[in-house]
Amino acid sequence: MKAQLTKMFLAAYGRAPEILAGAPGRIEFIGNHTDYNGGPVLGAAIDRGVWVALAGRADGQRRFTSDQRDGIVTLAPGDQAKREGSENWVNYPLGVLHALPVFGLRAPSGFDYLATSNLPAGAGLSSSAAIELASALVFAEAAGERPLRETLVKIGKHAENNFVGVPCGILDQGVSGFGEKNRLVFIDCRGPQFATVPLSTGAHFWIFNTHTKHALVDGLYAERHGECMAAAKALGVELLVDTNLAALEAAKPKLKPAVYRRAKHVLEEMARVEAAQNALAQDDLAAVGRLLTASHRSSQHGFENSTDELDFLVDALVTMPGVFGARLTGGGFGGAVMAMTGADFGDAQAQIIAEAYGKKFGTRPDILHALTGDGARLL
């Protein structure tokens, strides 16, 4: 990747880069909608991501280019304005520049910047977190700073929340920042606190991206968030992580049925994350797979954030030899399904699933095979 990055940078700017960094995309492994409820979540950094190259400039200009877009975006010294239209991708690194001083870190003044990615567009693998963390690494290095990994993660989240304007939790940046090959990232979202847990080298990930999205997805996210907060309030706690299923059952008569179902899903999902950790410690991928599928069924029937397309994929996948389990990955209401498989599940089996899906829905899902990968790093 170093040689490829250098070649691209030379072609764009006519000189070699001085600093290179990369950060991976991520999969939400298990822990659906537990993050904003203060609970735990497991994620996987994958072996695809975003890479950034940088070289300083003495004139204060900041120039940005990407292999995903045409042309170079040039910002005059002091220009802090958010970009619009075809230049809006620059808001991710620009947001990081804005965030650095918030965390007591210097930002470089002038530079040439190039980003490249091998993450498929729109696959829900959080290319946004990857570009934020890779950008934070090169910017900090250019300014002579070496932030802690926890700070790096918080810089990325701050950039996305406060500059880009997406109210994401800590999952995306946390997994991209703390990922390790053959390990999953565990996040206790109350802290947040980060740790890694071993994952068998025999585990493979297959992503089936439907490219479907519920027309009311933003409103439905907000509605689910509100129902969880309503349940917590009725139970006398700030967040659902501070209560338990027994208390929920005792309060069931005073809760709206939908609010009860949402809270039950979240509390059971928190327990599934803990159970998955225990199964991973025993290298019991079959048990982990059953938990993944149970997570999807709970999303399907309790949290009601699945779709016919996602359900079809899970139903088809769990009948296939070599598949340990499958679930929707991410917020739901469309998007992608993640299957954890053994090495004996390959492209031929994936194509069988895609063909069946195509016959049902008239269009085939995109397929991505991934393994775990290392987290954000200087190259």
Active-site residues, by number, are 172
CA 309 to chain centre: 21
Listing DSSP states for 146-189 in one string gives ---HHHHHHHHHHHIIIII-----SHHHHHHHH--TTEEEEEET
Residue 252, number of CB atoms within 10 A of its CB: 13
Cα 142 to Cα 140: distance, rounded to the nearest angstrom: 5
Segment (H or E) for 217: helix 217-234
CA 275 to chain centre: 22
What phi and psi, each to the nearest 5 degrees, are found at residue 187?
A: -125, 125
What phi and psi, each to the nearest 5 degrees, are found at residue 156?
A: -60, -45
Helix, strand or coil for residue 310? helix
